[in-house]
Structure formats: structure tokens, C-alpha cells
Amino acid sequence: MDAFASVTELSIALADKKISSRELTDLYLDRITKIDPSLNSHLTVAADSARVAADAIDARRATGEKLHALAGIPFGVKDAITTAGVRATGAAKILDNYIPTHDATVIARLRAAGGVMIGKHNCDTFGHGASNENSMYGPANNPWDVSRVAGGSSGGSGAAVAAGLQPYAIGEDTGGSVRAPAAFCGVSGLKVSYGRNSRFGAMPMASSLDTVGVFGQTVADIALVMQTIAGHDPLDPTSAVAPVPNYTHALEKTVQGLRIGVPAEFFSDDLDPAIRASVESALEVFQNAGAQLIPVTLPHIQYAIATYYILVPCEDSSNMARYDGIRYGVRASRPDLFETYAASRTEGLPNEVKRRIMIGTFALSHGYYEAYYLRAQKARTLICQDFANAFEKVDVMISPTMPEIAFKKGEKTTDPLKMYLADVFTGSASLAGLSALSVPCGFSQNMPIGMQIIAPRLAEDIALHAGHIYQKNSDWHTRHPAV
């Protein structure tokens, strides 16, 4: 079986008994053993429990039972998402030995469908970063060029899917963490709108922006996975009480009349020429297929990064307070309790987390709250309104996913502001709680380029439809790195 086969192809092969789930699981586990030492995309490989799950599915299939489309198909998960019985560190030493007793809701839904969880993916610690270099277990490397970053924060997930170590993966996106690795590694990645997928079991970073999303080889595969995991969850009070559309049906709608917004602000003069050329030719593909291109403006988008990097640290500084080093992970022994907390947090959390705790605490403190947090909230409202106005005229909006191709490791690690600017195209959709999909749309210097398709809140079906149209009319998503 081709390790880059789509979920649909794997599903058919399993149903036709051309391959068993056990054989498929072993195929991916072997690839992890051979390929992952150069990628560092996995923090934990759940080989034993995966084989048990695969055998159980094979036994059920042997009885003639009709199984779910995802049954017996392996997948991987960002390590900041809990998996019952399998270590979940969030790439932080402070949770180094944490073995959750419960599955995140999306994982529980995949397991109930017969999905086989085979590995936990490297990421920036608790999602803090855009390159995976803020992992306390070393960076995940880009399978197209291991001297370059995989993107972050769900870098291991992007690298693993791109390298054919799993057919799909579950990641998390607060400001670009699914889209950036998808773009840098040349796979498809969906950031769902706020509330679409349950966040129960996802380690929080910025609770008003965090979302759980999907990586796949194709948009059609993402649709299939979304059908299984999306929808209200009583365990997550922020999950939307809204019907889940039929995503696979949505893919097959006609492209005629699809209105694509092209925001002027996302195609400014300083945009990298190779990225501009790729995204502009993708826009032509849409036009030739029958879609309509409409210029739009998002006048407040210029404040998105500044707004994001106030609000996220504010929420973050409170979310990070839970890690005390007492029960799990690194625990520094000191004569008194306060010093024990302080020393454990010093050793167990990386610099970027500490930086955000300090920025957030400062921005929320008396005398500064109005100047920073309150103003950032107002700017967020203006950004939301910009999108709402534009979505009166268009169905989706298109931009580059990232301002550049995957950069060399170490290039931005000494300058946090440079790293923050990597989110220039992704952060705004997160502030507005929208759906946003990244699909491969070209190459520059042999590295993949990603295009972002933004759709309204809870309109993942529209983003997936547009992405699928593009993939029917292009072949960038069919190229794989030589690993």
C-alpha cells in the first residue's frame, strides 16, 4: 500500500480486505522507525496500543460488521491533546511524564469510529510558536529540507503527514498552528472556526482563540475526518450548538458563482514575489473553473499581529498558571513550597512561555489594562467587523498562508518579534473565530507554498468546497518529499 494513499483509498482497501488494519498500522510504524530519526516529528509512538486497536478492528471486520469509513486507519495527534493511556507532554518538560486518563473528545470520537492512534506529535510547547523550535524536545524538521523548520506550532503533525508517517493528523490552531506547518510541509490543513470542534482535552493556550483542527493529504480527507469529529460537546461549554453540515456533499457543489474575495491588504507590495506569483496563479485556476474574483479590503487587519500578541499572552498567562511541577514532570526540590514552584516552572517551561506569562501579566495589571488589554479587545472587534463586512460580498477570501517559505532553523530564534510576524496572514482569522484552510499551491526553492482560504464562522463546508475545487484543478497536493 502506498504510504501517501488518501484516507478514502485506504478505507476502500480495508473494506475490500486488500490490506488489514494491522498491516497498515505496521507499515506506518515501520516508516516512523526508519524516517522519524531525521524528522523528530514524534514525541511518543504508541506502537503497542495501536496494534491492539488495529487487531480489534480486523476481528470486527472479519465478522462481516459494517465499519465506519475511518475504521482501522492510523492517525497521529499533536502532543498538546490528551490521549488516554498515552503520554501527552504538550512538548513541555513540566508534563514530561503525564499520562492522561481521558481522551480529548475529538480523539474519543475517532477511536469510537475505529481510528487507530499511533503517535503523538512534536510541537511548540503548549502551542507557543510558529516554527516548532520552542519545543523542549528539539524542533521537528521539515521533510522537504531537514535544515528548515516544519512550521509551528503543530510542526510534528505537518511533517508526519507530509512524510507519509500517518495519513492524517489532529492538530491545534490558535493563530496559525495548523495552517503554518501545513503550508511549510506541503499538506492540507484546516483550522476550524471557534466552537466547531470540541476543545475538551486540548491543553489551553489562549482560550478565546484555541481550536482543534485536521491535517490531511487532501481536502476530501479532511472533510471525512471533520464529519467524524465536528459538533457540539457537552464537555466543552464553548463548543457551538449548531448543526454539522455534510462536508463530503459540500465538496461536490458547483463552483459556478462562487465569490472569492481578494483582500488588498494581503497582497501588499512587499509580499515575497514567488509567493505572490503562486497565489495569483491559484486565483486564476479558480477563475477558469467558474469562480468570480472580487477585490475586498480589511482596513484594520494591519493591527492584527499587535492585537493578537496582547490578547494571547493575557489569556495565556492565566492558563499557564496551572503548571506547578508537583504531580507531573520536572519537579525541582527546594526547602520551601514557593521556591519549589518557582524552580520547577523555571526548569519545566521554555523561554517563550515565560515571555508570554510576563507580557500577559504586565498587560493585565492595574494601570496598564486599559492601555493594552482593553484596546486590543476593541481592535479585535474592528477586525471582526472588517471580515463581516467583506463576507457580505464574498463567500471566501484568499491569501497566502505564510509570508515566506519554511525558513532555516535558528533564523528567528533570537528575535521573538520576527517569529511573531510569521503569523501575519493567519492571526486575523483566528481573532475573528473564522474557518481557514491551507492548501499547497506551488513551490519556491523546492519548498512548498500554501494558500489560505478563509470562510465565515462555522462555514468549514464552504472553505472545504473551495479547497476541493482547487485540488481538482491542480496537482501540488500530490507531490511528496523524498524521505
Residues at the contact surface with ligand GLN, assessed by CB under 6 A: 127-130, 153, 173-177, 205, 312, 423
Cell output for 215: 491535517
Question: What minimum distance in Å lies between the beta carbon of 152 and ligand GLN?
Answer: 6
Shorter beta-carbon distance to ligand GLN: residue 129 or 456: 129
CB of 184 to ligand GLN, least distance (A): 12
CA nearest 386: which of 266, 219, 278, 276? 266
For 243-251, which contacts have Cβ atoms below 8 Å and span 24 or more sequence positions? 245/460, 245/461, 246/461, 247/223, 247/460, 247/461, 247/464, 248/220, 248/223, 248/224, 250/223, 250/461, 250/462, 250/464, 250/465, 251/219, 251/220, 251/223, 251/464, 251/465, 251/468
The three cell numbers locating residue 388? 463581516
Q: How far is the CB of 454 from ligand GLN (least distance, A)?
A: 15
> Smallest distance, Å, CB 149 to ligand GLN?
12
Q: What is the largest CA-CA distance in the chain?
A: 71
Distance CA 86, CA 161 (A): 20
The catalytic residue among 78, 120, 409, 412 is 78
- Active-site position among 177, 239, 317, 399: 177
Identify which of residues 261 and 350 has a Cβ nearer to ligand GLN in the complex.
350
Cell, residue 213: 483542527
Of 176 and 186, CB closest to ligand GLN: 176
Beta carbon nearer to ligand GLN, 105 or 319? 319
Nearest-angstrom CA–CA distance, 338 and 172? 32
- Short-list 98, 100, 114, 91, CA closest to 43: 91
Name which of 263, 379, 231, 241 is nearest 311 in CA terms. Answer: 379
Within 10 Å of residue 380's Cβ, how many Cβ atoms? Answer: 23
C-beta closer to ligand GLN: residue 159 or 205: 205
Phi, psi angle pair for 215, to nearest 5°: -110, 140
What the block records as the C-alpha cell of 137 is 524536545
Shortest Cβ 415–ligand GLN spacing (Å): 14
Nearest CA to 203 out of 69, 115, 87, 293 is that of 87
Nearer to ligand GLN, 233 or 423 (CB): 423
Catalytic residue among 6, 41, 135, 153: 153
User: Which residues neighbour 317 within 8 Å (Cβ) at sequence distance 6 or greater?
Assistant: 356, 357, 358, 359, 360, 361, 364
Q: Residue 26 CB, nearest distance to ligand GLN (Å)? A: 32
Report the relative pairing of strands 188-191 and 74-78 from DSSP bridges: unpaired
- Minimum separation from the CB atom of position 113 to ligand GLN (A): 26
Q: How many residues in total does the chain contain?
A: 483
- Using a 10 angstrom Cβ sphere, with 0-12 exposed, 13-18 middle and 19 or more buried, the burial of residue 34 is exposed
Q: Is 154 a catalytic residue?
A: no
Any catalytic annotation for residue 207?
Answer: no
Q: What is the smallest separation between the CB atom of 128 and ligand GLN, expressed in angstroms? A: 5
Measured from the CB atom, is 44 or 177 closer to ligand GLN? 177
At 69, the amino acid letter reads A
C-alpha cell at 175: 493563530
- Smaller CB distance to ligand GLN: residue 152 or 261? 152
Do 171 and 178 form a contact (C-beta atoms < 8 A)? yes
Residue number with CB closer to ligand GLN (384 or 421): 421
Residue 428 is a catalytic residue:
no
Amino acid at position 246, single letter: N
> To the nearest whole angstrom, how small is the minimum distance from the Cβ of residue 215 to ligand GLN?
13
- Within 8 A by CB and 6+ apart from 212, the residues are 81, 104, 106, 170, 171, 172, 173, 192, 197, 198, 199, 202, 229
SS (H, E, C) 311-368: HHHHHHHHHHHHCCCCCCCCCCCCCCHHHHHHHHHHHHCCHHHHHHHHHHHHHHCCCC
The residues that are catalytic are: 78, 153, 177
